[in-house]
């Protein structure tokens, strides 16, 4: 069977929390087979500090994805790390954090992908479990529309539309095969508008935000001195967020996601709608060497060459 993967060794990093502005330390550690991704708050005494990274543990989606457990312990801004773990094919891991928020690093998933590569990965003696989408699921909220469609591999279409000429309308269609996530998505940074900063900070948010960890738009211009990493970095970051939010399904998806002006709330509502319908999904494991296995390897893994990427901005 296609086997589960975890870290070969533990690795640590330190960074700033995007919203609190506090300095945070985090350690990525190997996880046992079938344990999934589990966050552990090391600053919380006792045994109630573990928070499984699953869609049904999402407790807040304002500006980031926040997970919580039954004891009320939370961990925020998990989406970039989850995207890196999904894009790197990590099934099981323990993520120790000494605060209520994952460090933002440079605002993208690239630093976390680098950490995964430095730690290395190993296969485990357990088959990898995929979630196959069997029926089309759609959630709508005003102009926001999120859809999952049955497919043999994981792919994403995304469309955004902002009034600012620095962003405007951007669309991308991308298959998550091989090195595609790392090369074409992982470096896209979170973004925001300068005129919103004061309001966010007054609300206790974005205190750690800076030009070092976000693309900042003022009027119709990007004010970061180094400019953009991709000409359509904005829509690619929305793809990055979707990859992270959807990896909270508990495994790689066999399905196609289409997002129109969606965010963390829509992504989570889509998973809620999917798992609420027993006829819309099923778990699946793949034997190595079968045609189905070759297709499933394209999901989240680096074993198959990436397809051509089509994008418009």
Q: Which residues are catalytic?
A: 264
Report the alpha-carbon distance of residue 129 to residue 282 in Å, rounded: 10
DSSP at 308: P
Report the alpha-carbon distance of residue 119 to residue 302 in Å, rounded: 16
Nearest-CA neighbor of 233 among 220, 208, 250, 216? 216
Which stretches of 7-157 are DSSP H helices?
79-87, 110-119
Report the alpha-carbon distance of residue 160 to residue 311 in Å, rounded: 13
Residue with tokens 């589960």: 4
Strand partners, 255: 150
Backbone angles phi, psi at 118, to 5 degrees: -70, -40
Report the alpha-carbon distance of residue 56 to residue 248 in Å, rounded: 8
> What angle is formed at CA 277 by the lines to CA 36 and CA 51, rounded to 5 degrees?
25
Q: Is residue 241 helix, strand or coil?
A: helix
Q: Is the CB of residue 36 less than 8 Å from the CB of residue 92?
A: yes
Q: Is residue 292 helix, strand or coil?
A: helix
């Amino acid at each position: 069977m296609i086997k589960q993967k975890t870290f070969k060794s533990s690795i640590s990093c330190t960074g700033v929390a995007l919203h609190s502005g506090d300095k945070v330390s985090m350690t990525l550690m190997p996880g046992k087979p079938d344990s999934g991704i589990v966050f552990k708050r090391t600053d919380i005494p006792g045994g109630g500090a573990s928070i499984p990274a699953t869609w049904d543990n999402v407790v807040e989606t304002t500006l980031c994805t926040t997970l919580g457990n039954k004891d009320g312990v939370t961990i925020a801004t998990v989406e970039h790390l989850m995207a890196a773990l999904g894009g790197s094919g990590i099934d099981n891991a323990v993520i120790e954090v000494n605060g209520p928020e994952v460090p933002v690093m440079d605002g993208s998933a690239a630093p976390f992908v680098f950490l995964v590569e430095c730690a290395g990965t190993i296969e485990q003696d357990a088959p990898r479990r995929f979630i196959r989408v069997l029926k089309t699921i759609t959630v709508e909220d005003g102009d926001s529309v999120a859809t999952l469609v049955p497919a043999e591999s994981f792919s994403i279409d995304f469309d955004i539309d902002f009034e600012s000429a620095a962003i405007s309308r951007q669309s991308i269609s991308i298959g998550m095969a091989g090195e595609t996530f790392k090369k074409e998505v992982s470096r896209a940074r979170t973004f925001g508008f300068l005129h919103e900063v004061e309001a966010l900070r007054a609300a206790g948010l974005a205190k750690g935000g800076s030009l070092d960890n976000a693309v900042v738009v003022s009027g119709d211009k990007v004010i970061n001195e180094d400019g953009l990493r991709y000409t359509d970095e904005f829509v690619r970051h929305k793809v990055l967020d979707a990859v992270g939010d959807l990896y909270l399904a508990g495994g790689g998806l066999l399905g196609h996601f289409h997002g129109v002006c969606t965010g963390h709330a829509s992504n989570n509502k889509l998973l809620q709608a999917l798992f609420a319908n027993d006829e819309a999904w099923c778990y699946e494991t793949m034997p190595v060497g079968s045609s189905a296995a070759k297709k499933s390897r394209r999901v989240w893994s680096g074993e198959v060459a990436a397809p051509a990427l089509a994008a418009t901005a």
